[in-house]
Chains A and B, each alone.
Chain A
Amino acid sequence: MLRVAAAARGVRRAASLLHRFQSTLVIAEHNNETLTPITLNAVTAAKQLGGEVSCLVAGTSCDKVAQEVSKVPGVAKVLVAQHDAYKGFLAEELTPLVLETQKQFKYTHICAGASAFGKNLIPRVAAKLDVAPVSDIIEIKSPNTFVRTIYAGNVLCTVQCDEAIKVFSVRGTSFEAAPTSGGSASVEKVTPPPPVGVSEWIEQKLSKSDRPELTSARVVVSGGRGLKSGENFKLLYDLADQLNAAVGASRAAVDAGFVPNDMQVGQTGKIVAPELYIAVGISGAIQHLAGMKDSKTIVAINKDPEAPIFQVADYGLVADLFQAVPEMTELLKKK
């Protein structure tokens, strides 16, 4: 009995010792003006590892974002690298900076949110460190054991990573966002390595919208092929306005040109997990379900009673969307 207790103490001590030497670098995503929310989810994941958390802010203009990050509780240090070479946040330019930072501070973990930014950068960093990265983790079991989904979210895979440096990306919807006030991290400048110059950012065309951002919205209204045209998406925008919801789409709706592709929800689009997901005129293919089946409540409106979406829906309504959606919008207006 005593011996068991002593052994347990020993394990605990070893574990806390291990924790003390654990340190994580979170690569912050931002647009030179504000921090991208997924970074806050990544910070929460980093804190679960138990060690010290640092954040790297690189860009052409970093002061505001660095201030923002320094107030996030749990972040001990903010490293800032400002240089014109970071225009467009090119992986070719950011990778040497991350490597330089790694050389100096010797982190045990390096991570970022699994957004287009993180997915582009993290594997390049890992390859340069000669380690196998882990993508889009949904759970941290221990500092070297992670859970992620494979086969379009149909299988959970537990991975043990015995690399000296664990390099991974974090699924934003699987970790709470860290608070944005109460922290007081130190801010330190990092000298940027010389520009690589093999790639160049030319331009961007961003979809403008007054609605909440898709991946972090509390309510999402999504349309599929059943909407029949881009004009008909107005029905969904009206409904979304009543619910302060973001609007998403299935691949079918994007391929048919109804809406731009950055609205796509699914295995190859965005992964969302809102409080309420309303799927309108969406059949519910495996690839779409991969992007939304962790939503808290799912509503399906579809005229085909056999549509697979009804198998995951908490509330299903078999009806013509062209009548049901306007009716719902009107009812919600009344309160």
Chain B
Amino acid sequence: MAALRVLVGVKRVIDFAVKVRVLPGGQGVQTEGVKHSMNPFCEIALEEAVRLRERGGAAEVIAAAVGTSKCQETLRTALAMGADRAVLAEVAAGAEVGPREVAAVLAALARKHSADLVLLGKQAIDDDCNQTGQMVAALLDWPQGTFASQLELEAGGGAVRVQREVDGGLETLRLRLPAVVTADLRLNEPRYATLPNIMKAKKKPLEVVAASELGGAPNPRLKILGVAEPPGRQAGVRVEDVPALVAQLRQSGCV
């Protein structure tokens, strides 16, 4: 079986446990001085790539990020988790990059590094878009296995079987390689980077290129006009016991 070269897209986002705040004026959310980490779905995608290599299915795992120089930290984490090398497609601080621009860069990197499989998370927990993987697949004209909860390389190496999480349950697809797969939460449980691996990761190669050279020019056709806090909910009441609860629900016409 020919071993694959896997490209994994990772994104630096505000940590999932942080309560985000909208900036006064509504031009964005507060990102300065806020804890950032690797998007949880990206961790899962990376873990799957590393497991593929450990099983002998992948020859090399390349982690890639599109963003400011701060993303180097995210890529070091990826290297510590087991990626072999990393590429940062750098953009200037403050530049608006969305899934369309990221997809263009990742598609270019997939071609440049002759990837057979592109693994991504199913969505980033900041913009909640759930678009990049599908768009990379479209740009490359490769098949896509989105929301994957299981990924198997077929004997012979020419295809993957992907079990997907869909609305009514699960479905299984067979995708001819090269392909794009996006990870759902259930795909695996990502490992922690150990201290020795964090030290080793510092020596692994991390290449920095300009995103603009790879087709990641910002798209002025999608503008964020403003952000706002959603309307808050009215404070509720505590009820004493179950009869009181049922009485309240009956009174308000809920049941």
Which residues of A approach B to under 8 Å, CB–CB?
Answer: 88, 90-92, 95, 115-117, 119-128, 131-136, 145, 148-163, 198-207, 215, 219, 243, 251, 254-255, 260-262, 267-268, 270, 275-276, 286-287, 293, 297-299, 301, 310, 312-319, 324, 327-328, 331-332
Q: Is B144 an interface residue (CB 8 A)?
A: yes
Closest Cβ–Cβ distance, residue B26 to chain A (whole Å): 9
Closest Cβ–Cβ distance, residue B167 to chain A (whole Å): 5
| Contacts across chains A and B counted by CB atoms under 8 Å | 251
Q: Is B184 within 8 A of A132, CB to CB?
A: no
Q: Is B242 within 8 A of A204, CB to CB?
A: no
Q: Is A116 within 8 A of B227, CB to CB?
A: no
Secondary structure type dominating chain B contacts: mixed
Q: Is A119 within 8 A of B130, CB to CB?
A: yes
Q: Is B252 an interface residue (CB 8 A)?
A: yes
Q: Is B169 an interface residue (CB 8 A)?
A: yes
Q: Is B142 within 8 A of A123, CB to CB?
A: no
Q: Is B175 within 8 A of A155, CB to CB?
A: no
Q: Is B149 an interface residue (CB 8 A)?
A: yes
Q: Which of B22, B128, B138, B222 contacts A127 (CB 8 A)?
A: B138
Q: Provide the residues of chain A in CB contact with B228, threshold 8 Å.
A: 155-156, 158
A131-B221, A150-B128, A200-B175 given; name 12 further pairs at CB < 8 Å: A124-B135, A134-B222, A150-B227, A154-B230, A155-B230, A162-B221, A219-B255, A261-B149, A261-B186, A262-B170, A310-B236, A310-B238
Q: Provide the residues of chain B in CB contact with A324, threshold 8 Å.
A: 242
Q: Provide the residues of chain A in CB contact with B161, threshold 8 Å.
A: 202
Closest to A160 in B: B223
Number of B interface residues at 8 Å Cβ cutoff, please give it: 81
Q: Provide the residues of chain B in CB contact with A119, threshold 8 Å.
A: 130, 134, 146
Which residues of B approach A to under 8 Å, CB–CB?
Answer: 14, 16-17, 19-20, 22, 29, 41, 98-100, 103, 122-123, 125-139, 142-147, 149, 161, 164-176, 184-186, 219-230, 233-234, 236-239, 241-243, 245-246, 248-249, 252, 254-255
A216-B224 Cα distance, complex, nearest whole Å = 30
A254-B239 Cα distance, complex, nearest whole Å = 29
A105-B252 Cα distance, complex, nearest whole Å = 49
A191-B209 Cα distance, complex, nearest whole Å = 44
Q: Provide the residues of chain A in CB contact with B20, threshold 8 Å.
A: 151, 154-155
Q: Provide the residues of chain B in CB contact with A149, threshold 8 Å.
A: 128, 230
Q: Is B138 within 8 A of A275, CB to CB?
A: no
Most chain B beta-carbon contacts within 10 A, residue among A120, A127, A204, A301: A127
Q: Provide the residues of chain A in CB contact with B174, threshold 8 Å.
A: 199-200, 202
Q: Is A123 within 8 A of B239, CB to CB?
A: no
Q: Is A91 within 8 A of B144, CB to CB?
A: yes
Q: Is B236 within 8 A of A151, CB to CB?
A: no
